[in-house]
Amino acid sequence: MTRGETLYGVLGVPADASPADIRAAYKEALLALHPDKQAPGTSATEADAFLRLHSAWQVLKDAELRAAYDMQLLEAGHEKGLFISAEVDLDDMEGHVGKDERLSFSHPCRCGQAFVCAESDLSETADSLLVQCQGCSLIMRVLYTVDGSADQRGPVQSASLRPETDVS
């Protein structure tokens, strides 16, 4: 395997892709590589790409092999930014109001540091956010809701929209 490219990279899927996503990505990549779709004079590089694709699929389609492979990657510390170590609901994170009333959230990491994200990082068009630990390469997925229901629970208030609470 080329250093820096994982089996996930070969298939073009994230490391937390579902089996269905992996299957779909494999089929799509396979179609794109199929000899019938290639212009005459296909290079050896393409045959090579097919082999890499096939071997990636052999591992990632199998839950046990995939888990073993994930462990290898994790131990090698090799896939920075791809490993989702946890999923945490925003409501379960600790809220902090910093200077300028910026609201941020933190969650402890097993390395002793923390995952930190700001309220302003939360997008209205998504319902989760990947946050990297400040002390190591682990990534956590923060789950949140963007509708009004968040107003009734947790520390999520529209603090950034209503700066009248300045009591300094």
Is 86 an interacting residue with respect to Zn ion (CB under 5 A)? Answer: no
| Binding segment (CB under 5 A) for Zn ion, from list 22-30, 57-65, 95-103, 111-119 | 111-119
Rounded distance between C-alpha atoms, residue 26 and residue 59, angstroms: 12
Contacts of 37 (CB under 8 A, 6+ apart): 31
Any contact of residue 133 with Zn ion (CB under 5 A)? yes
Contact yes or no for 131/142 (Cβ under 8 A): yes
Task: Compute how many residues bind Zn ion; rule: CB under 5 A.
Answer: 7
- Of 61, 135, 146, 151, the one binding Zn ion (CB under 5 A) is 135
**Where does residue 87 rank: exposed (0-12), middle (13-18), buried (19+ CB within 10 A)?**
exposed
Q: Which is nearer to Zn ion, 104 or 145 (CB)?
A: 104
- Shortest distance, CB of residue 107 to Zn ion, whole angstroms? 10
Site string for Zn ion, 20-59 (x = CB under 5 A): ----------------------------------------
Q: What residues contact residue 144 under an 8 Å CB cut-off, 6+ apart?
A: 89, 90, 122, 127, 128, 129, 150, 156
Contact positions vs Zn ion (CB under 5 A): 109, 111, 113, 133, 135-136, 138
